[in-house]
Structure 1
Amino acid sequence: AKEQAKEMFYFGYDNYMEHAFPLDELDPIHCKGRGPDYDHPENININDVLGDYSLGLVDALNTLAVLGNKTELHKAVRLVIENVSFEKNVTVQVFEATIRVIGSLLSTHLILTNENHFLGNFTMPDYDGELLTMAHDLAIRLLPAFENTRTGLPYPRVNLIQGVLPHTLNETCTSGAGSLQLEFGVLSRLLNDETYELLAKRVNAVIWKFRHKQTGLLGNVIDIQTGEWRGILSGVGAGLDSFYEYLLKSHVLFGEETELQMFLESQRYIFDYLRRGRSLCRLGEGDPPFFVNVDMRDGSTLNTWVDALQASYAGVQVLAGNLDEAICLHGLYYAIWRKYEMIPERYNWHLKSPDVYFYPLRPEFAESTYLLYQATRSPFYQHVGREIIDAINLHTRVLCGFATVHNVLDKSLEDRMESFFLSETCKYLYLLFDEDNPVNRHYDRLVFSTEGHIFPITEKFRTLSSIQGVLKFNESCESPDPDDRLRPPLPADKLKQLYDAVGFNFYKLP
């Protein structure tokens, strides 16, 4: 399976380099590249992500390091330095440009300069910090998004030359605005310039200030001028997912106590209002627990679907030391995967059928599977990983790469391979099986960004002297243990008990 995951990456990567570079993405069915839709600037499905900056190559850089391919990494870095420019008249989403481009440039810079020495020695003799300079350049071009808003929340989109264009939408999703602190924090600390980190922290503080006064919940869309919630959906999936993830990871990477307290408080609200089913995962009575979307104003159930991004919340629970909940939530998504051999973008748990049918090779389920394997060492999760690899190869492999599934029912395809397939999906699947990989040997000293880019937990980035591995979620959790990954595998009978508690009969949907 390790070699299969590696082959999948190189099949996608080599075809991108042959048929798409220097454009942003690969169209794997017709073997050609795609960039921004200059003729239709309103096409945000494409233009939010694609900035005419060789996104496919940039986003994949540190996957090459994870695979141990020093030669190809150095070649790719040289191509990025020589070919990528941000002096482009394109309007991109601040969030996507930050997590996909700035995050990868910073992570790879740390690898090349041996500051992320946990991954091994990838020192590049003729490298002179160019990737850090490029990350700084792009961040400067994003700064206009934070100007001229009455709340301090950023515009969701910015033109890389002209700044914020007239008639730019004054609404942003919570995760889009509030998931910048890892990348902006690392950039600030590398530059010794607090500007970027303070902007990200201010955004988080503003979002937190506007939480509902009675429930404490956040909505999913907010007006950046007034602070009024334009979207009242509160959940742990799309629009909110990475906000909670980054609160916790900001504490792990930087030692930020304020963000930790925000995370812990938000978790209490989430468990009070969003969690349905039995009170404890390990008990055998009642409906299995999972998280629903609610009205932020009163906690009432707002709809009956969960989305594919919510699968990442199981990984957040692993990091929070809340293993039983992580296992339960992963169990729900595994049941959905078993039904379709992929996860539809939205699944209606009441009707037991998809609401939104496409599957763009998202990484969240593979990510949580990998993190749960690290936490439990149970071979069950490697079994799940093999199923993921087999299904992707069976249903999405085409002439020049891997294609988005248009409909999980009939397995029809769309001609698009998004950059996160190489930067995340393949990376997590490979790490699931390469147990001696430096990333796995130093798992408790590394943090994955929401785009799968790797940052080291070092004194250089922390404001506190201690480095914690697993954090307390509440008083019922175990104490932090930096050597948690070195514990014996979770006993098979314990894992079986937990999965029996999930109640697969409930999740085995017709």
Structure 2
Amino acid sequence: MKCYGILLIVFISFIIHQTTSSYLDCLTTTTESLQECLNSSFSSFSLQEVLESRNDARKMFQFGYDSYMKHAYPHDELNPIHCTGRGHDYTDEDNININDVLGDYMLTLVDSLDTLAILGNNSEFKRAVNLVVENLSFNYGHQVQIFEVTIRMIGGLLSAHLLIIDSNEPFGDLKPDFYDNELLYLAHDLASRLLPAFDGTHTGIPYPRVNLLKGTHQNVCRHCINETCSAGAATLLLEFGTLSALLNDPVYHSTSLRAVNSLYNYRSNSTGLLGNVINIQTGKWTGSMSGIGAGLDSVYEYLLKSSILFGDGQQYKMFQDIYSKIQTFLRKGREKCNSGNGFHPIHVNVDMNDGNIMNNWFDSLSAAWPGVQVLYGDVEEAICSHLMYYAVWKKHSFLPERYNWHLNQPEVTFYPLRPEFVESTYLLYRATKSPFYLHVGREILQDIEKYSKAECGYATIHDVHDKTLEDRMESFFLSETCKYLFLLFDLDNPLHRDGEPYIFTTEGHILPLKYPFREKLANLYDKDQHNYMNTHMPGKCHKMGSKGNLPVQMKYLQQVLADVGVTY
């Protein structure tokens, strides 16, 4: 079996089992029958439940999107409590929490374009494209973060463009009558404004920020410092490579590829691990923590995904190398997920130089790691990694931004509606077909609806303890969180049909593998310059058991729930 059949989320129709009991009913059972009851309830999910959950996910997206269009557009984000829009903070240019992301470029609308297509709202997709084409401009002297503007804006524009020009129309007719590659031109315009961030760095790793009109000089970009997180250096390749292929211009791909290769070459000589913050001029690590969460998560993701999308064997070997080092130095716990004794496996944060544990927490971004493991074909390990995040979600109804696994309590208590745990849940369901993940997805859906819904959208959870809210709905809620929830329950979506393979960017934008990215990029280089085309990627897929079974033995599920403090 070809692993990248799983990797590319290409699956055919499957059986949905009828529900025999709800896991909530198990609360009234005796201790002796609890295990049997839980196993029975988690191992079934009726077609009616699937359809109801799909409808709930659709309504969630629609309420958030409609609220943004009514109360916030053309601003970047929606304030869902006060029903107002949010854009660049002109009163405090040092407010990088806002200004790194918001540049007065209709962020939420652009970020949501392909979600509209995936949900089948073709008329609104065309209307939204028209609004973008007529009104979007980057002629503002804003300082923005390279990473955020690339994955949200360039990724959103390119994904929508590729959907429009697909002559097979897997999602139906998405092409507006007027369309003449305007989204591609906008992506090109924006990317060209980011290129100065790569100038004047001795390593080829870009500055973390750039002024969209004036570049990176300190006089016009006060936060264009010489330090960047690893993810900021290595999470541009899918979008920049796609742009190069569409434009027949190698500069974007080669520039981002140089940054990735440079970062990899600065890995520790003793452990082979990457740190989380690097000096772009000297290549010295100023942050030596190595983990699978913030600052590093999408580095691993893009090494693997670029090897799939572009057929780059070098990127695949780099991913394999780093993956093995992560499993050696960061993974703690029993050796096997579904057998043996010992505490539940977990990935910890270590010092890149010696592999010693640096702290006792993981962050919510690390919940994307099980999804990366699925893409790699290491499904059993993905199942195990996912269970820890599920247990924390089960206890708090959300994933806190940072969780202390030693004390079993949140350290940073907010939850901004992040998609990483939802994404991994979706990918694990596509890989295993275990109804357990449908139950998990429904819990996520119900918790967000119950606690996060505000007057005009869905608000950030300020504190997972008391469920107080913050007045912000980030664009990734519509671009990713709602998208993955809908896809989890939309069994017949074109994304799931054989012969229509796509890959998700780190912002949840879809890129079609049938587009000849490999050929186009290979033609831009000399044959000896890059290792493209016909790259064979050996798989690690493990055959799963019966679709109706839990993904792990019940005793291991009960163990991790008990360890975190979940009681029935």
TM-score by length of 2: 0.85
Q: What displacement does 1:197 show? A: 0.4
Q: Determine the C-alpha separation between the residues in 1 that align with 2:500 and 2:310.
A: 14
Q: Superposed, which structure 2 residues align to 1:108-507 within 5 Å? A: 108-114=160-166, 117-166=169-218, 167=222, 168-442=224-498, 445-458=501-514, 460-463=516-519, 472-473=539-540, 477-478=541-542, 490-492=547-549, 495-496=552-553, 499-500=556-557, 503-507=560-564
- The aligned amino acid for 1:507 is V
Contact 1:331 1:502 in 2 (8 A): no
Partner of residue 50 from structure 1, selected from 98, 102, 127: 102
Q: What displacement does 1:229 show? A: 0.4
Contact 2:313 2:535 in 1 (8 A): no
Contact 1:94 1:158 in 2 (8 A): yes
Q: What displacement does 1:501 show? A: 8.6
Q: Determine the C-alpha separation between the residues in 2 that align with 1:195 and 1:490.
A: 46
**Which consecutive unaligned segments of at least 5 residues does structure 2 have?**
1-52, 520-531
Q: SS at the partner of 1:230?
A: strand
Q: Determine the C-alpha separation between the residues in 1 that align with 2:155 and 2:556.
A: 36
Q: SS at the partner of 1:447?
A: strand
Q: What displacement does 1:228 show? A: 0.7
Cα pair distance change 1:494/1:217, threshold 3 Å: closer
Partner of residue 133 from structure 2, selected from 62, 81, 87: 81
Contact 1:250 1:256 in 2 (8 A): yes
Q: SS at the partner of 1:278?
A: coil
Q: What displacement does 1:490 show? A: 3.3
Q: Does 1:104 align with 2:160?
A: no
Q: SS at the partner of 1:492?
A: coil
Q: Determine the C-alpha separation between the residues in 2 that align with 1:226 and 1:277.
A: 37
Q: Which structure has the larger Rg?
A: 2
Q: What displacement does 1:444 show? A: 6.9
What are the Cα deviations for residues 189-232 of structure 1, in whole angstroms up to 9, with x where unaligned?
00000100001110011001100111111000000011110101
Q: What displacement does 1:472 show? A: 2.4
Cα pair distance change 1:116/1:80, threshold 3 Å: farther
Structure 2 counterpart of 1:70: 122
Contact 2:434 2:551 in 1 (8 A): no
Contact 2:349 2:357 in 1 (8 A): yes
Q: Determine the C-alpha separation between the residues in 1 that align with 2:89 and 2:351.
A: 35
Cα pair distance change 1:130/1:266, threshold 3 Å: same
What are the Cα deviations for residues 439-491 of structure 1, in whole angstroms up to 9, with x where unaligned?
122487110000000001125112566698x9525xxx55xxxxx9xx98635
Q: SS at the partner of 2:403?
A: strand
Cα pair distance change 1:16/1:415, threshold 3 Å: same
Contact 1:210 1:218 in 2 (8 A): yes
Q: Determine the C-alpha separation between the residues in 1 that align with 2:550 and 2:397.
A: 26
Cα pair distance change 1:41/1:385, threshold 3 Å: same
Contact 1:237 1:306 in 2 (8 A): yes
Percent identical pairs in the alignment equals 54
Contact 1:359 1:407 in 2 (8 A): yes
- The aligned amino acid for 1:136 is H
Q: Which moved more, 1:387-396 or 1:121-130?
A: 121-130
Cα pair distance change 1:138/1:82, threshold 3 Å: same
Contact 1:315 1:372 in 2 (8 A): yes
Structure 1 counterpart of 2:24: none
Contact 1:328 1:499 in 2 (8 A): no
Q: Determine the C-alpha separation between the residues in 1 that align with 2:547 and 2:316.
A: 27
Q: What displacement does 1:279 show? A: 1.1
Q: Determine the C-alpha separation between the residues in 1 that align with 2:117 and 2:426.
A: 18
Q: What displacement does 1:282 show? A: 1.6
Q: Determine the C-alpha separation between the residues in 1 that align with 2:274 and 2:115.
A: 34
Q: What displacement does 1:506 show? A: 2.4
Cα pair distance change 1:144/1:493, threshold 3 Å: closer
* CA root-mean-square deviation: 1.9
Q: What displacement does 1:125 show? A: 2.5
Q: Determine the C-alpha separation between the residues in 2 that align with 1:374 and 1:489.
A: 14
Contact 1:424 1:452 in 2 (8 A): yes
Contact 2:234 2:256 in 1 (8 A): yes
Cα pair distance change 1:465/1:194, threshold 3 Å: closer
Q: SS at the partner of 1:355?
A: strand
Number of corresponding residues? 499
Q: What displacement does 1:401 show? A: 0.3
Cα pair distance change 1:290/1:89, threshold 3 Å: same
Contact 1:344 1:356 in 2 (8 A): yes
Structure 2 counterpart of 1:481: none
Q: Determine the C-alpha separation between the residues in 2 that align with 1:348 and 1:314.
A: 19
Q: SS at the partner of 1:462?
A: helix
Contact 2:386 2:424 in 1 (8 A): yes
Structure 1 counterpart of 2:50: none
Q: Determine the C-alpha separation between the residues in 1 that align with 2:74 and 2:259.
A: 34
Q: What displacement does 1:114 show? A: 1.3
Contact 2:273 2:352 in 1 (8 A): yes
Structure 1 counterpart of 2:19: none
Q: Does 1:34 align with 2:78?
A: no
Q: Determine the C-alpha separation between the residues in 2 that align with 1:407 and 1:493.
A: 31
What are the Cα deviations for residues 68-97 of structure 1, in whole angstroms up to 9, with x where unaligned?
111000000000011110111111000000
Q: What displacement does 1:378 show? A: 1.2
**Which consecutive unaligned segments of at least 5 residues does structure 1 have?**
479-483
